[in-house]
Chain A
Amino acid sequence: MRAADVPYEKVTVKNFPKGPDSLAPGHRACQGCGEVLALRLLLKALGTEFIAVSATGCMEVCTGPYPQSAWRMPWIHVAFENAAAVASGVDEATQILSKKGRGYDRRIPVIAVAGDGGTADIGLQALSGALERHHKNFVYVCLDNEAYMNTGIQRSSETPFGAATTTSPTGSRSKGQYTWKKNMPAIAAAHNVPYVATANPAFQFDLMSKIRRAAAIEGPAYIHVYAPCPTGWRMKPELAIESGRLAVSTRIFPLYEIIDGCYEINRKVADPKPIADYFKIQGRFRHLKEDDVAYITERVNADYERLVELSEKFPVKAAPQA
């Protein structure tokens, strides 16, 4: 079956999963954390019949101080850079035990969760290996808060151009981060995996539906999640969702899927809002001048137009939902 035809149940207002959260309350995330909200929604969409693997990072630290754990499904954390490799082992073990009559009688998704540093920087090799090896029940979620927040807001390769962090500070010779955000979804897609998507907790049904789709499709899947971080972005805690909406409506973080190499933009933005609207609620961009914003706007629009071209040239041909 083509990945695009694999049936899955979309999350809507009407069928929003009931019952307790799969990620228990009482964890120690910062006030207004958009990352833990995204994680909670992703896990809730799946229930508890899966195995979770965490990389070291904010989400691991805030959910698992011994003897407490917020994870209501089997969960393992080993280290920072190897969530993909650990998940590879879990998936292959689960499959072979089933084949040998000592395991489950159905597919068990293995969900690896890591931050942007654990994915795009130190974890990139392990992720590339895992995607290339094509583990059947492997879903990798990058919760991208655009810097090393757990260690105190240091820049990563996912920190956006112009953002000030503690290792990309502004100064007389610096306007903050001087490199463009690494395109992780494109890197994941280059591994010929059946499913790649971007998601955002401000679009919760879309986010939850995507992890269900990722888990339903046989083969590795990669979901890159926008994870607003009020603490690290110097933003009011109540603005995480607002920043998520603006990230999409300004084209900064488009929502799309790449299914078997074909593109579909989930939220088309014909008339983008000014990027300055997105920047002004975040202290990390406050030093940027008009010409900086103009340069960023031009590049963001070019990236978006390229995505539109790809979606027109290589569209996902929809099949009727079962």
Chain B
Amino acid sequence: MGKRIGIEVSLAVAEAVKLADTDVVAAYPITPQTHIVEHLSELVADGELNAAYIPVESEHSAMSSCIGSSAAGARTFTATSSQGLALMNEMIYIAPVLRTPIILAIANRALSAPINIWNDHSDIMSVRDAGWIALFADNGQEALDMTLASYRIGEDPAVSLPVSMNIDGFTLSHFIEPILIPDQEEVDRFLPPFKPSLQLDIKNPISIGLLGAPECYTEARKAVDNVLRNSKKTVLKAFEEFDAVFGRKYNLVETYRHEDAETVIVTMGSISETAMTAIDEMRDQGKKVGLVRIRLWRPFPDEEFLAAVAHAKNVAVVDRHMVLGCSSGPVGLEVRSLVYTSKLRPVITNFVLGLGGRDVTRDNFKHICDRASSGEVQTRYELVGVYE
């Protein structure tokens, strides 16, 4: 049944990596991810995790080593944030096409400049199109659970794709929460050993990473896109199995008091909990508001999302990243383009807030709901909580 303990969320992620009996960790320190890999180093040093810990000299080499390790058949984990993810960028685009199911925990942090170590989603949005499965966790228990689920999803023979497990830097990664640490026996029931269908093997030599000429490049990319889109089924299956073993049910899109809501807020990550408190307070005042939070960001769960907002008059999409030179945030763009191709015609508004660690408050969400239902928003997005 596991054991509930007070533990820092980063350490709980590392405990999940241990419970998964990970073979190789290659990582480079960067705030606010460091506590994850520090704890993994300790677990390896103490013999609690029988893994190779590769203390690489950069994040570029971290992801490069992970690709090599995964291709050689090892269960492989790394973690990063912000500039680290940006430095990995070249490798981030290669890992999915080489079908290496690396698990990457991202403690989300703002991208420079100005240099800033605090939380927003600009790092993960910079690799939005790379071909990774991307999951978001809202709280500590979800961080541990999504880490375990990531292995189950990414390593599934039908998928074999890398997975990013996103937790908000500091505001989630550094909090101490009561978290149920599952038993090894439970984890073993949920997560089978990693059995890659293809790997670097001297008994069955294959070539990985050949040149793709114009005659095959499109097909190679399309093949990965197909696998990524189809991986939604594996995510659903993994969540069902997770529920069966651990008794916690997760969905691709989570909802809160949204059934009769006229205005729904759309969020990702730990601000969702603040939003839920704000929604309770607004509900007490008789306002029909609800929440839709996206757990699976890639592949985007089109049907589940449309079902969740089907009855809403106003959809207020929150972004934690400002796309410079573009008139919408990335989640706003996603929702607008999806809804436009459906029969739904809610009023979609887009709000950018909480950049570089700026506090996201209940009042922010009340303001968003007021604006979203006011009919006054003329621009394609509004910046919330900015000093004029």
Question: Which chain A residues have a beta carbon within 8 Å of chain B's beta carbons?
Answer: 48-51, 53-54, 60-61, 64-69, 71-79, 81-82, 84-90, 92-97, 99-100, 102-104, 108, 125-126, 128-130, 132-133
Contacts and interface: CB of A to CB of B under 8 A. Distances in A.
B294 interface: no
Contact of A66 (B24, B71, B202, B212): B212
B130 interface: no
B56 A129 contact: yes
Interface stretch (B46-54, B143-151, B160-168, B336-344): B46-54
Contacts of B206: 74-75
B202 A86 contact: no
A96 B213 contact: no
Contacts of A88: 26, 54, 56, 61, 64-65, 68
B72 A77 contact: no
A133 B69 contact: no
B69 to A, nearest CB: 4
A100 B65 contact: no
A96 B50 contact: yes
Nearest to A83: B64
Contacts of B68: 53, 76, 78, 85-90, 93
B207 interface: yes
Q: Top 8 nearest A-B pairs by Cβ distance?
A: A89-B68, A129-B57, A89-B65, A85-B64, A93-B74, A85-B61, A89-B69, A77-B209
A94 B72 contact: yes
Interface in B286-321: none
B94 interface: yes
Contact of A75 (B51, B57, B207): B207
Contact of A48 (B57, B70, B200, B205): B205
Given A54-B209, A82-B61, A103-B73, 5 more contacts: A76-B209, A86-B67, A90-B200, A97-B74, A100-B50
Interface residues of B, number: 44
Contact of A89 (B51, B58, B72, B212): B72
B90 interface: yes
A78 B209 contact: yes
A73 B69 contact: no
B91 interface: yes
Contacts of A72: 205
B64 A76 contact: no
Nearest to B26: A89
B241 to A, nearest CB: 23
A133 B64 contact: no
A64 B211 contact: yes
Nearest to B72: A93
A14 B50 CA distance: 45
Contact of A129 (B50, B61, B210): B61
Given A64-B210, A67-B210, A74-B200, A90 B54 contact: no
Contacts of B70: 89, 93
Interface of B: 23-24, 26, 50-52, 54-58, 60-62, 64-74, 76, 90-91, 94, 98, 200-202, 205-213, 216, 220
Given A76-B71, A76-B209, A129-B58, A93 B23 contact: yes
A94 B67 CA distance: 13
13 contacts: A64-B210, A75-B208, A78-B94, A85-B64, A87-B68, A89-B67, A89-B71, A94-B72, A96-B51, A126-B58, A129-B57, A130-B61, A132-B57
A97 B72 contact: yes
B24 A65 contact: no
A294 B157 CA distance: 64
B26 to A, nearest CB: 6
B54 A89 contact: yes
B334 to A, nearest CB: 29
Contacts of B60: 81-82, 85, 126
Nearest to B209: A77
Contacts of B76: 89, 93
B82 to A, nearest CB: 20
A283 B76 CA distance: 49
A102 B74 CA distance: 9
A100 B72 CA distance: 14
Contacts of B24: 89, 92-93, 96
A81 B208 CA distance: 17
Contacts of A68: 210
Contact of B69 (A60, A90, A132): A90
Given A76-B208, A77-B209, A97 B23 contact: yes
Contacts of B208: 75-77
B213 A65 contact: yes
Among A85, A126, A132, the one with the most B-chain Cβ atoms within 10 Å of its Cβ is: A85
B45 to A, nearest CB: 15
Contacts of A49: 202
B213 A89 contact: no
Contacts of A129: 56-58, 61
B207 A71 contact: yes
A126 B211 CA distance: 22
Contacts of B67: 76, 78, 86, 89
A322 B26 CA distance: 38
B23 A89 contact: no
A69 B76 CA distance: 27
Contacts of A87: 68
Contacts of B65: 85-86, 88-89, 92
A85 B55 CA distance: 11
A87 B70 CA distance: 11
A108 B72 CA distance: 12
Given A51-B200, A96-B52, A73 B205 contact: yes
Contacts of A103: 73
A79 B207 contact: no
Nearest to A96: B52
Given A73-B202, A90-B68, A97-B74, A82 B23 contact: no
A126 B61 contact: yes
A73 B200 CA distance: 9
A49 B201 CA distance: 9
Among B54, B62, B69, B72, the one with the most A-chain Cβ atoms within 10 Å of its Cβ is: B72
A26 B147 CA distance: 46
B41 to A, nearest CB: 14
